[in-house]
Amino acid sequence: MKTLYAQELKPLLKTYGRCYNDSKEKRLYFNWTGASIEFKFRGSLLMADLTAINGEEPVFSIWNKEPVTRQTWPVIGIVIDGNYEKIKKHELTENENRVILYSGSDSDPHTIRVIKLTENFKAFTALHSASFEGELLTPDQNKRPEIEFIGDSITCGFGNLSEDRSQGFFSYTEDALKTYGMIAAEALQMNYSAICFSGISTTKYGGELVQYAMDELYPYTDRILSDKLGYAEAELWNFSESPKDYIVINLGTNDSHAVTYGNHKAPDQLFFEGYLRFLKTLRSLNGAQAKIICCLGSMSYYFYDDILRIVEKYKKETGDSQVYCMKFRQMLFFDGFGACDHPSAKTHQKMADELIAFLRSIS
């Protein structure tokens, strides 16, 4: 059996989303929602040694006199030859995990994709090495349009597999493949990537419930991981490496909470200025070719009219006509709720259908 480590595997891997090559730890991290690594393999057995770093979630109870937390671990999905109906899921509950990616007896080459189904910050995942009986082949470089999703817990798929609307975060109830973003990307035959974080706002206001704002994360490959590992500087993402054709922003739901909790005198103005700055940052980093879609929904619409005004102002100031607005329909009671009153898998499917129709209308 042959073993290759992450650094040796680089020319034999295809990555999707923002993956961080940690030369110091000699690991390839794929932490963002839906980020994945892909092998092309011919042989009888392929195994991967995967590193997992757990996160922590608070446990609220009237019986707890002191703060209590529980561990959260990443969940991955293994897809062979694009057959998502036969996906194999694994929750990585140890720091080091050996997972069988493929076993068989035929001589055909197979494409094996390992997908992070849970979100960044809640838990971290990396490829350490691969061991195999057979051979790793150079992956196919089939070019597809690129679409990126920027958002909060809705885009992450928070609780989309749960049927208990009062439930908090559990790894096994969050599935990237059941999010509106991944559903739409697959239907449109586009490569998907996402930068999303539950509870996040567009920018900092002083009343946030989480430690980062999106404008603090977006320029970097994975600032959350860099901070977690104690690195002095975070790696800047190379935006020219995989230029995006479409960028879908779904931010604003948590901004309304942040400005409210911060007791600001002019919350609408703070959001207006922050979102406008971020929109300009997106364009400067991604170049002129990307179509940017500013969305909101399907939970709260407090700032949607502001987004319409922001985009109008942005267009007048820049002459940029490749920016659009879209409002997802309000989620419906009879479609069910995910954890913490989030969109259910059924609602995500409806959101995907809306987005697919919109993207086709502007293409």
C-alpha 165/C-alpha 336 separation (Å) is: 9
Task: Find the range with the poorest average confidence among 59-68, 231-240, 243-252.
Answer: 59-68
Residues 276 and 202 in one domain: yes
**128-187 per-position pLDDT tens digit:** 999 999 999 999 887 899 999 999 999 999 999 999 999 999 999 999 999 999 999 999
Q: Is the pTM of this model over 0.75?
A: yes
**28-72 per-position pLDDT tens digit:** 999 999 999 999 999 999 999 999 999 999 877 656 666 788 999
| Residue 149 vs residues 78, 209, 266, 293, 355: alpha-carbon distances, Å | 22, 22, 29, 10, 12
Q: Give 213's Cβ-side CA count (13 Å radius).
A: 19
Closest CA to 328 of 356, 306, 309: 356
Phi, psi of 34 (to 5 degrees): 80, -5
CATH number at residue 258: 3.40.50.1110
Residues 320 and 261 in one domain: yes
Residues 275 and 217 in one domain: yes
Percent of the chain clearing pLDDT 90 (strictly above)? 87
Residues 150 and 79 in one domain: no
In the listed set 106, 137, 168, which residue is the last one of a domain according to the structure? 137
Percent of the chain clearing pLDDT 70 (strictly above)? 98
Residue 266 pLDDT grade (very low, low, confident, very high; cuts 50, 70, 90): confident
Residues 33 and 100 in one domain: yes
Residues 125 and 154 in one domain: no
Residues 133 and 261 in one domain: no
Contact 185, 361 (CB under 8 A): no
Structural domain that includes position 155: 146-362
Residues 126 and 190 in one domain: no
C-alpha 118/C-alpha 38 separation (Å) is: 17
**64-116 per-position pLDDT tens digit:** 666 788 999 999 999 999 999 999 999 999 999 999 999 998 999 999 999 99
| Residue type for position 347 | T
In the listed set 137, 167, 183, which residue is the last one of a domain according to the structure? 137
Q: CB neighbours (10 Å) of residue 304?
A: 17
Number of domains in the chain: 2
